[in-house]
Structure 1
Amino acid sequence: MKKHILSIFVPLILIAGLVSCSNKAPETAVPESPVRETMNTAETPEGDSSDALAENLREVDLSLPVKDHDGWMLPGTLTLPEGDGPFPAVVLVHGSGPNDRDETIYENKPFKDLAQNLAQKGIAVYRYDKRTYVYGKDMAADMSLTLDEETVIDAAAAVSLLKNREDIDSDRVFVLGHSLGGQAIPRIHAALASAENRAAGYIFLAAPARNLAEITREQYDFLYSFNPVLTNTQKAQKEEIYAQLDRLDNVSALDDSEVLMGAYAFYWKDLLAYDPVSSASEITEPCFVLQGEEDYQVTMADFSLWQDTFGNSKNWSFRSYTGLTHLFMPGERANGNAVYLKKQTVDARVIADIAEFINTH
């Protein structure tokens, strides 16, 4: 009998961590760096050789300045293909929560996989530690925090950072957003446009198209279905979670300082007023939407909504993958969040399709 684990962590799509600044989950669920560039060698470390950087690749430590925060820097890594360039490039934008540059989930590092494998195909990749990961305590005190400060502003700044490098083709800098980062893409596009800047195209990985509170409830319903019998403590926590979700149904009535599902009400008001699908209609650049068919967090319902809306648009393309989860790694929906416990890598089909999209635009 397969074991389902509800007690590991909350659903990944949640904003949990913005206020608590912690990766720890309830029972029922789930240093600053100066601007610098130092070359990482391709020496093979002891232990797991799969983590070694291929000999024909280079990695540069490249920190990202945080706009309107003097001295704040987000440590990052630019992975470069062999040669002098200029190379096409892609900025990786994290999902919800305080993610590091690899978007580490236990032993899985999907952003590191993307960076090293896409670089093997001639594409430079920039990934950086998320603002809530580096400055979590400061951001937890900010009751006016929105998706812009969490994600959008830094992603747009990363595009500009790459465009100013001689080894990067400034006309071919793409943006890839995973999960909440994918939902944020229309706002990233708007931020770039307001600065008279642009990306060459956008890649949506498991991007929510629906109301995030609705998706969050759907995730909890799914995970709790594995554990019909709960302890008294778990029952109380479950009741509290669903009480908070119920209050999000009338978020406009909440005081901005109230905390729900790990974020201030002000954050939720901004997020729930945002329609990513409607906003995406402003994008004229090439867009590619990818979805794992075994994903229980952002499901095929979201993929279908993107496809139903933009399926006839010449600048949009779509692909779903059998047997892949929210991390675009092998797994089965029926195993719930236990699929994240096994160390795996991003599926080769996904790497190949992203590379083809970038290299043909």
Structure 2
Amino acid sequence: MKKLFLFFAVMPGLIFGQDISGTWGGTLEVMGSSLRIVFNISSENGQLKSTMDSPDQGAFGIPMDNTVFNGTMLKITALQIMGEYEGVISDSFNSFSGTWKQSGMKFPLNLKKTNESVTLRRPQHPQPPFPYEMKEVTFRNEKENITLCGTFTYPSQKEAFPAVVLISGSGKQNRDEEILGHKPFLVIADYLTRNGIGVLRFDDRGEGCSEGDFSTATSQNFAQDVQAAVDFLKSQPAVIKDRIGLIGHSEGGLIAPMVAAADTSIYFIVLLAGPGTSGKEILIDQNELILKSYAVPDEEIRKKQALNMDLYEMVINAKNIEKTKEKIEKRIFRQLKKENSANLSDDILKKQAASQAEVLCSPWFRYFLTYQPANALSKVKCFVLALNGSLDLQVPADKNLSAIEKILKESGNQKYTIKKFEGLNHLFQHATTGSPAEYVKIEETFSPEVLEFMKDWMMSILK
């Protein structure tokens, strides 16, 4: 589950004539989905600056590189995402008729001036006062000499209590595993703590107040961070030392078995949409299912999958990763140039190709591609709960739950429970199609029945 990270250098634009400062909004129709786009334009010393909001993708205040208005035509450029808006203002100066171009594609986008602010409803997010204790904590990963920080919530009563560590999915995440305005780990931590279980959730290395370099880390490094979190819980006087568990979502469901296989004091693990197949297989399945959800034609999917598989093999078989990255960058550039219906410049296409090649050749991606969950799962002897939703397009439920069960059964671990919930997506929201495009539009953050099932299972084994 990747979160979008964007960085732009803000470059001032120019104003000619009519002042267009203010908020301008419109809707993009992209692959069957409607995406609201808002440009916030301001004027400073006769120059224009702007930011962009994409509320339906949970992105706000994204700085634009250049904003120019010549009295008739507005042009806004975002180089890092290969995005560009061009629009002609109406005679009444309250709307623009134009086009959004990105990654070789173009879509109609008409803007209207508005005073309305966009908000996302997230009714499950808990609000104070809380009927439990909460404190900000830090702990050390001594192996890598970094300090991590998080929030520890625990019952107010004086009796000793069990505790869990929450492990986030892929991409740099904060302690709430925040995505598109949702904070699933905040919801899970609140629910479990209200039911007598201590919960430690923490910022990934390099995120928030946690130290460390995220870009050079792999799942194995993240497992060391989780072990440091477990050691912190063991140091807390009120925590029952032999009743500590791990709850991992998505990639976190891959990391939890790594830690439990190495630390036999772990009493249980919960895998929320955890992988049971290799990273390469996960990515191939994920790409196909998501493209289908966007109504991409089968032949186009076949071509994209063939390219992806070629690129994955290049990474897997790389002897010199820098030379391989150069080859991959050239391969992606040729493909982008072939698909460049929006006539973006070669410079923009090269930046996109370089960015994609950087991701494909990163330490994390190379590790994930070939990692087999069975390596750790087969060594796990504690209690295991594996849950998934039938509409998960990122870690398909049937294939991965079956693989997890097969690994556990063949390794002799009979202390497991496997369950698929109908109608839930990768984030464990009640969904219609499971498409990632729905995530932000769904007000529910995390299914109440999954929370209850998880809590009841934990209580049954903690007796």
Q: Which residue of 1 aligns with 2:455?
A: 355
- How high is the TM-score relative to the length of structure 1? 0.76
Q: Partner residue of 2:198?
A: 124
1:155 matched to 2:248: no
Aligned-partner Cα distance in 1 for 2:169–2:460: 26
Name the counterpart of 1:44. none
Following TM superposition, by how much is the alpha carbon of 1:137 offset from its aligned partner in structure 2, in angstroms? 10
Pairing 1:134-149 to 2, within 5 Å after superposition: 134=208, 139=213, 142=216, 145-149=217-221
Q: Say if 1:241 and 1:261, in contact at 8 Å, map to a contact too.
A: no
CA distance in structure 2 between the partners assigned to 1:183 and 1:5 by the alignment: 33
Match of 1:249 among 304, 313, 321: 313
Task: Tell me: CA distance 1:282–1:210, structure 2 relative to 1, closer, same or farther (3 Å).
Answer: same
* 1:98-144 deviation digits (Å, cap 9, x = unpaired): 000000111111111100001111111110001142489962663xx
- Residue 138 (structure 2) aligned to one of 63, 75, 78: 63
Q: For residue 178 of structure 1, what is the aligned residue in structure 2?
A: 249
The correspondence for 1:320, drawn from 420, 426, 437, is 420
**Which residue does the alignment assign to 1:18?**
none
Of 228, 243, 247 in structure 1, the residue corresponding to residue 296 of structure 2 is 228
Contact 1:177 1:184 (8 Å CA) reproduced: yes
Q: Which deviates further from its counterpart, 116-125 or 329-338?
A: 329-338
Which ranges in structure 2 are unaligned for 5 or more consecutive residues? 1-28, 37-53, 56-79, 83-101, 104-121, 326-355
| 1:152/1:191 contact within 8 Å kept | no
Query: Structure 2 vs 1, CA of residues 6 and 214 (structure 1 numbering), >3 Å: closer, same or farther?
Result: farther
Give the Cα separation in 1 of the matches to 2:388 and 2:285: 17
List aligned pairs for 1:258-297, cutoff 5 A: 258=325, 260=357, 262-297=359-394
Aligned to 1:168: 239
Q: SS of the counterpart of 1:170?
A: strand
The residue that corresponds to 2:21 in the other structure is none
CA distance in 2: counterparts of 1:320 and 1:360, whole angstroms: 19
User: Residue 165 of structure 2 aligns to which amino acid in structure 1?
Assistant: V
* Residues 295, 5 of structure 1: alpha-carbon distance in 2 compared, 3 angstrom cutoff: farther
Q: Which moved more, 1:212-221 or 1:238-247?
A: 238-247
Do 2:170 and 2:252's aligned partners in 1 also have CA atoms closer than 8 Å?
yes
Give the TM-score taking structure 2 as reference length.
0.60
1:25 and 1:154, CA in 2 relative to 1: closer, same or farther beyond 3 A? farther
Letter of the aligned partner of 1:247 in structure 2? L
- Distance in 1, matches of 2:124 and 2:419, equals 31
Residue aligning to 2:395: 298
2:172 corresponds to which of 83, 89, 98:
98
Contact 2:250/2:275 (8 A) holds in 1? yes
State the Cα deviation string for residues 140-160 of structure 1 (Å, max 9, x = none).
663xx32222x2001111111
Change (3 A) 1:54 1:279: same
Cα deviation, residue 260, structure 1: 4.4
Residue aligning to 1:4: 33
For the residues of structure 1 that align with 2:81 and 2:295, how far apart are their CA atoms?
16
How well do the aligned residues superpose, as a CA RMSD in angstroms? Answer: 3.4
Helix, strand or coil at the partner of 2:317: helix
In the TM superposition, what is the alpha-carbon distance from 1:341 to its structure 2 partner?
3.2
- For residues 210-260 of structure 1, the C-alpha deviation after alignment (integer angstroms, 9 at most, x for no partner) is 12122223222233331538xxxxx9xx98996454221241235334474
- The answer (yes or no) to whether the contact 1:67–1:154 under 8 Å persists in 2 is no
The answer to whether the 8 Å contact 2:385/2:416 transfers is yes
SS at match of 1:253: coil
Mapped contact 1:4–1:335 kept (Cα < 8 A): no
Sort the Cα spacing of 1:215 and 1:254 in 2 relative to 1 into closer, same or farther, 3 A: farther
Distance 2:418 2:214 in 1: 36
Local SS of the residue matching 2:213 = helix
Q: Which amino acid letter does the alignment assign opposite residue 378 of structure 2?
A: S
Contact 1:92 1:177 survives alignment (8 Å):
yes
In the aligned structure 2, how far is the partner of 1:174 from the partner of 1:83?
A: 20
Partner of 1:52: 127
Give the residue type in structure 2 aligned to 1:283: V
CA gap of 1:246–1:103, structure 2 versus 1, over 3 A, is same
SS of the equivalent of 1:344 reads coil
Cα distance between partner residues in 1 of 2:405 and 2:81: 34
Query: 2:376 is matched by which residue type in structure 1?
Result: S
Query: By percentage of residues, which structure has more strand?
Result: 2
Distance in 2 between residues matched to 1:296 and 1:206, nearest whole Å? 10
Amino acid at match of 2:289: F
- Asked if the contact 1:332/1:339 (under 8 Å) is kept, the reply is no
Aligned length: 315
Unpaired segments ≥5 residues, structure 1: 10-23, 29-46, 230-234
Alignment-mate amino acid for residue 395 of structure 2: V
2:270 aligned to 200, 203, 212, which one?
203
CA distance in 2: counterparts of 1:275 and 1:48, whole angstroms: 38
CA contact (8 A) 2:268 2:383 kept: yes
Amino acid at match of 2:150: G
- Are the counterparts in 1 of residues 424 and 434 from structure 2 also a CA contact under 8 Å? no
